[in-house]
Amino acid sequence: MTITLNDNLEKTIYRSNQTKLSLINHKKNISKIIDTITKKIKSNGKIFLCGNGGSAADAQHLAAEFLVRLRPNVNRNPIPAISLALDTSTITACGNDYSFDNIFERNLSALASRKDILIVISTSGNSKNILNVLKLANKKKIYCVGFLGNKGGKAKKYCDIDISINEKETARIQESQIFLGHYIFEQVENKLYKKNI
């Protein structure tokens, strides 16, 4: 079947959908991430998320979905999820007193233990604060998941598991990453609360 794309809207929607469809190639890793998050939560672990800019917003968005709920028909206990970029006072104090390269690692160092899980969201995979928090998590033996663009960038080698999207446009990567987050979190919710769904 040949698809004729007549305008920018159609082309953009098509490319966005093609980028999301590429996630099918990561099916095995996606299933492993779902299982790992579920096990960590069952063992009283917490989920920490971080990213910069739009990815910071996505980290906060996904944390809210776990703390409150994803679907209106699913009433359940809150799932412990924390965005490392939530507190502007802490972020600006760390950026001013130390460096913005340390904003995530500083918070993770204070709050996390090896029973927790870290999810980093990055379209480049090369942000210094993302690399620094991953290095710290590795030292603390915290399981690291990467939602990455740019084929993973430098961050890939510090993740226990990653979903690296081979796409150059930041917006298309972010659209796929929020879809990925929603899908994974829905499946975790299903596994944790089978009786309520």
Kindly report the pTM of this predicted structure. Answer: 0.93
Domains of the chain in start order, with CATH, are 29-196 (3.40.50.10490)
Q: Which residue has the tokens 């996630």?
A: 23
Distances (CA, A) of 75 to 46, 79, 166, 179, 183: 20, 12, 36, 22, 18
First to last CA, the chain: 38
Alpha-carbon span 129 to 105, nearest angstrom: 7
Q: pLDDT of 39-48, one tens digit each?
A: 999 999 999 9
**Three-class SS state of 133:** helix
For residue 175, the surrounding DSSP H or E stretch is helix 170-192
pLDDT tens digit string along 143-189? 999 999 989 999 999 999 999 999 989 999 999 999 999 999 999 99
Residue type, position 32, single letter: K
